[in-house]
Chain A
Amino acid sequence: MAAETGHDVLGELMRGSLDHCVKCTICETFCPVSNVTPLFPGPKYVGPQAERFRVPREESPDASLDYCSGCGICTQVCPQGVQIAEINTQARAKLRKRTGFRLRDRIIARPDLTGRLGTPVAPLANLMLHSRLPRRIADRLLGIDERAPVPAFAGRTFQAWARKHRSPPAPRRVAYFHGCGANWYEPDAGRRTVELLEYLGCQVDVPRGQGCCGLPLQSNGMFEPARRYVRRLTRRLAPSARHGIDIVGTSTSCTLMLKREAREILGLDDDPELRMVSDHVYDICEYLLMLHDRGELRTDFQPLPLTVTYHAPCQQQGHGIGKPALDLMALVPELRVIENDATCCGVAGTYGLKTEKYEIAMDVGAGLFAQIAEARPDLAVCDSETCRWHIEQATGVRTVHPIEILHRAAGLSGPGH
């Protein structure tokens, strides 16, 4: 947005991409949501079709668009380059301006805030989160489905660990963007990432005070706070980028937010700091594979006689980088990797947590869950934390980030890990 005129050029261009739609219906055949429920009229309908009927001065009449999970598959598969998911996300933000935001959405869209509140009282908070009665109350009062997976607070933060940790000097230097998931819920996953990167010859900076990237707010239609969050995070990561240090992230949807979505969907493309950070952000598997392609990755991994399934989450696919986790895991001797070809697990960040959408999310994921069950793996592997929690809950199979596999193969996880 040009500050002086409020001239939303990018928004107009994105909206303008609806011109490319030739009605081919490919997006509808791929949409995981409209394939399981008639409540969502489908990406072609709510995107390029309905958008022609939306006028700024009129109220948005089509509340059904809220059933879009925001997985973004439609945009990925569109052969014409229509930014379907982006058009829809913007329409949802406008719809929410009219309908207002539910308390539930305000809560689940702020993992940073819930993490901050829950961590000091982790045992009590976890008891509440995983007991039937409080969950039932949260279901009825707030609309957070009592069956939906919610992570447990670790009670300690990754940032606290990182402050005490000193990364030894190494020829390569990277900054680690850990995201809310690693900080509040999975600090061990964050630690493993740092250990692996160090093993692979990197000195790892952990920029202080990294907060939420704003993605959950954005996907719940709260654009203003989402912009504040992503700008704040950007300020924390910018010094690294300014020094030419690459930033790697394990939270694949959050790295996508920094790379592309905040610029395109939130209209922040002319924020110079964000652009600079964007240019230096990598999904961690993307980064490691890039090192490997250059011949700069240690590949002396130990044999790992396990069977794992791998599901590339939708947001990871949004990077347009293929499936680097598969290439990396192929470097591990004796590891048997079964690639899942189902499109979406259904949870789509916060979508599957909502009472009115939980069953849709389970139906969307049914294909993936069946594939995992059939494979009877030792572990399931997936790059996105909310997807991992959802898959683990649905299948009962422990689900990990690809980095955990490499960490084991590097001999860094002691027995019992």
Chain B
Amino acid sequence: MARLRAEVLVIGGGATGAGVAWDAALRGFDVVLVDRADLAIGTSGRFHGLLHSGGRYVVKDVVAARECVAENAILRRVIPQCIEDTGGLFVTFEDNDPGYGDRFLAGCHTAGLPVEEIPVAEALRMEPVVNPAIQRAFIVPDAAIDVWKTVWSLADGAVAHGARVLTYHKVIGLHTEHDAVTGARLRNELTGEELDIDAGFTINASGAWAAQIVRMAGIEGIGVIPGKGIMIGMNHRLVNTVLNRCAMPADGDILVPIRTISAIGTTDIRAADADEIPVTQAEVDQMLAEGERLVPGLRRARALRVWSGVRPLFQDEKAGGAEVDTRDVSRTHAVVDHRKRDGIAALLTMSGGKLTTLRLMAQDIVDAMCEQLGTDRPCRTAEVRPPRNEDGRYYQVGSRLAKREARLLDEQLICECELVGRERLEETMRARGTINLDDIRRQLRLGMGPCQGGFCIYRATGILHGVGRLSGAQASTSLLAFLQERWKGVWPILYGDQLRQARLDDWIFQGLLDVEHLPETGTGAPAALLEEEPIPA
């Protein structure tokens, strides 16, 4: 059996794990980051894309608000290319608690959050589709953050500092020796091969799956309540500023312009299993009804896709009881020190947290590791920019259009909706070495636009085959797997324009290409491609 050695093993390739790998690698540790699937496909890849200013928490949770204020400023500095500086609007409605606006302003001042109240007319000029019945409007430095760009930038930064990233490697056991974790056994999910990692220290950054990991070291009593949230991606940017309802956090009160779409979110429902989070039509309906209050006519706008994610809301039996409403569980994070809690050394678990504070979470847990290891290496993530952020400029939505404009005459356009050209596609296929079109999707946004792959994914499949990585049968299987995955996000919102699109796509794939009867599918295809459910970290 293959054997790897590392100083630090990071389990979980979401935003937290990538942040930890980047932080630890920058401090000079030899890091291995593992994930049971691709990077950022669990909770991280399934949120709305909001980089909080802190406004959402100023009234309810001032500690969380302060963290957001500080981290928002730092992330804008170190990963600007992952961030679009949209700004945020908080708007109040007549039927909200009339005192909330003033409490919000006071909370902003307490948390040190820069806020400005603007006249309603000005807010409506900024965002013409916002409900004209709003009573007050406040501007805060919310922003949109592209989680896949963020996670890949951090992971590539870690690799540039000597780290290794193993995707599609699932932890199937933790090794312990003398009351300390000494490594893990992994299984390659694509080949089925197993390997051992000897690690001086292990950081469990697997979020909603953290309890399953620590159980492998015999640790009990840690529970993670999967707080399910659904989000609906609307076909275009209905707003260009993050829109928040200025009230106590509730369902469907945020609309985030993220790249070419706008995402409305979210709900918070206790789920039984982090791997079983189907979206129901009732949830979709509720979300649209709430969205309609923010933006009248939202129901008539085209919904592109719906997805759900699970918040890792921790409960520690040794620390206290169980709350019922998952929204009442604090959004701040905490490092669980298993040496103190369970007498097991060289293992830390990150509990709670949110994307906006991913850098701080990483800093805190790597600090705690350094303390346990008795070494003093200062954190540098607040100063150093990871790859592709060096120029210090914010992301521009039109940048793809600008790049495309330069290549209009000499490059084939493959994904028309998200403007992915052939060269970039082939480069990514080669660089990633993946056979999974869904991995390519997350990296390039291939097939994420209005037609949901209807017009590009058969082209991309042919190219993937042509690039030489896949047999015909594997390519067909990859195509089918992609279509199945896309379909899951589309069927709960099949009405209006997206229904028409789905019918056309269906006609292309079933009627024209007869994809269900492609020759030889399934033979030699990696099992991971045919799994029914997505495989989060």
Q: Which residues of A line the B interface, CB within 8 A?
A: 4-9, 11-12, 15-16, 18-24, 38-39, 41, 44-45, 48-64, 80
Contact = CB atoms under 8 A, between A and B. Distances in A.
6 contacts: A12-B128, A18-B235, A38-B409, A49-B416, A53-B419, A61-B402
Given A20-B497, A49-B419, A54 B128 contact: no
A60 B398 contact: yes
Given A22-B451, A52-B260, A61 B240 contact: no
A38 B501 contact: no
Contact of A22 (B125, B237, B501): B501
A51 B121 contact: no
A19 B236 contact: yes
A351 B358 CA distance: 53
A110 to B, nearest CB: 30
Given A7-B125, A56-B240, A64 B301 contact: no
B216 interface: no
A62 B236 contact: no
Contacts of B404: 62
A343 B398 CA distance: 33
Given A4-B121, A23-B451, A44-B416, A53 B301 contact: no
Contacts of A18: 235-236
A50 B240 contact: no
Nearest to A41: B408
Contacts of B13: none
B309 interface: no
Contact of A23 (B125, B132, B408, B417): B417
Q: Give the interface size bracket for B toward A.
A: 35 or more
Given A23-B417, A23-B454, 16 more contacts: A9-B128, A16-B301, A18-B236, A38-B408, A45-B413, A45-B416, A49-B419, A52-B236, A52-B260, A53-B400, A55-B237, A61-B402, A62-B402, A62-B404, A64-B408, A80-B497
Contacts of B451: 22-23
B142 to A, nearest CB: 15
Nearest to A49: B416
A51 B417 CA distance: 10
Contacts of B417: 23, 49, 52
The 4 closest A-B pairs by CB, nearest first: A61-B402, A19-B302, A52-B260, A53-B401
Contacts, number: 106
Interface string B389-400: 000000011111
B128 A7 contact: yes
Interface of B: 121, 124-125, 128-129, 132, 235-237, 240, 260-261, 301-302, 396-402, 404-405, 408-409, 413, 416-417, 419, 449-451, 454-455, 497, 500-501, 504
A380 B92 CA distance: 64
A7 B124 contact: yes
Contacts of A51: 236
A234 to B, nearest CB: 25
A61 B398 contact: yes
Contacts of B400: 53
Contacts of B399: 61
B401 A62 contact: yes
Interface SS of B by simple majority: loop
B504 A5 contact: no
Given A4-B121, A7-B124, A19-B236, A55 B398 contact: yes
Contacts of A23: 416-417, 450-451, 454-455, 501, 504
A51 B419 CA distance: 12
Contacts of A45: 413, 416
Given A16-B301, A49-B416, A6 B125 contact: yes
Contact of A64 (B121, B240, B405, B504): B405
A135 B3 CA distance: 80
B236 A7 contact: no
Contacts of B260: 52-53
B402 A19 contact: no
Contacts of B240: 55-57
Nearest to A50: B401
A22 B132 contact: no
Given A12-B129, A23-B417, A53 B397 contact: yes
Contacts of B402: 61-62
Nearest to A6: B125
A24 B497 contact: no
Contact of B128 (A8, A39, A41, A57): A8
B181 to A, nearest CB: 47
B409 A19 contact: no
A97 to B, nearest CB: 15
B172 to A, nearest CB: 43
Given A5-B121, A6-B125, A53-B398, A22 B500 contact: yes
Given A12-B128, A53-B419, A19 B397 contact: no
Nearest to A11: B128
B397 A5 contact: no
Nearest to A18: B236
A212 to B, nearest CB: 30
A61 B121 contact: no
A13 to B, nearest CB: 9
A291 B302 CA distance: 43
Nearest to B122: A5
Nearest to B501: A22
Contacts of A6: 124-125, 128
B219 to A, nearest CB: 47
Contacts of A7: 124-125, 128, 132
Q: Which of A6, A9, A48, A53 has the most CB of B within 10 A?
A: A53
B83 to A, nearest CB: 14
A8 B124 CA distance: 10
Nearest to A24: B504
A41 B121 CA distance: 38
Contacts of B132: 5, 7
A6 B301 CA distance: 22
A7 B127 CA distance: 9
A81 to B, nearest CB: 10
A58 B398 contact: yes
Contact of A19 (B128, B396, B497): B497
A167 B454 CA distance: 62
B301 A5 contact: no
A219 B504 CA distance: 33
A18 B450 CA distance: 10
